[in-house]
Structure 1
Amino acid sequence: MEIVAKIDLETKVIEVLQTCFDPEIPTNIYDLGLIYEINIDDDANVHTLMTLTSPSCPVAGTLPPEVEEKIRNIPGVNGSNVEITWDPGWTKDMMSETARFETGMF
């Protein structure tokens, strides 16, 4: 897969991630800083490394599969895998400036 195609696909993945929301904080998971890595291999398989706001997050069982499915449904993606990590643990400092402004979490 060409570098330009990977960049275009990564842009589409980010756009999809911005449609996924954490129910506790009304901001998308990308701007919340829950996405640590997006890796796209030469076969257009997308591996996403993400975290949640806490291990006891009420959507811990449903949000990762939702993210995985939404990415898998992007035209051009052959496969999607979401891996959850707790290292480093999420803090509000990981939020984008826009997300901090929207939520009032400075």
Structure 2
Amino acid sequence: MADEKDTPFSPIENKVMDALEEVIDPELGIDLVNLGLIYDVKVDSNGECTVTMTLTTMGCPLGDILNRDITKAVTSVEGVIKCNINLVWEPVWDLSRMSRFAKIALGIHG
């Protein structure tokens, strides 16, 4: 999934994206990457990672749980020592951001 992005990721950023595919949205049962919630990942030379992402809704009650799970997944990647989460609301998330896999898993056609 990570290599579908227009801007190529570095090898460590690809590993972070792979790790984020293990973080499952508790309400939907699909990982954050396939849901299209991860907008960008950057890892600097000091091993500090910034994940730019959104949530399906502004009032998502699971934000704290997701933050914990994201931080755990990202910092499990060798070479990453810190995770910053940049939560954004633009561009607005919608179903078109989901992968084909996520749409099939959720029974969304079209």
TM-score between the two structures when normalised by the length of structure 2: 0.83
1:68 to 71, 75, 84: 71
Matched pairs, number? 101
Paired residues of 1:65 and 1:82 also in contact (CA < 8 A): no
SS in 2 for 1:61: helix
TM-aligned CA distance change 1:12 to 1:75, over 3 Å: same
Distance apart, 1:78 and its partner CA: 2.3
* Structure 1 unmatched runs, 5+: 1-5
1:13 to 13, 16, 30: 16
* Structure 2 unmatched runs, 5+: 1-8
Matching residue of 2:43: 40
Q: In structure 1, what is the Cα distance between the partners aligned to 2:68 and 2:52?
A: 13
Matching residue of 2:4: none
SS in 1 for 2:28: coil
SS in 1 for 2:63: coil
Q: In structure 1, what is the Cα distance between the partners aligned to 2:67 and 2:93?
A: 15
C-alpha RMSD of matched pairs (Å): 1.5
Once the two structures are superposed, residues 48-94 of structure 1 have per-residue CA deviations (whole angstroms, 9 ceiling, x without a partner) of: 00111101212012212320232122221122111111111211110
Q: In structure 2, what is the Cα distance between the partners aligned to 1:61 and 1:45?
A: 20
- Which aligned runs of 4 or more in structure 1 are off by greater than 6 angstroms? none
Residue identity opposite 1:70 in structure 2: A
Q: In structure 2, what is the Cα distance between the partners aligned to 1:14 and 1:39?
A: 10
Q: In structure 1, what is the Cα distance between the partners aligned to 2:76 and 2:29?
A: 24
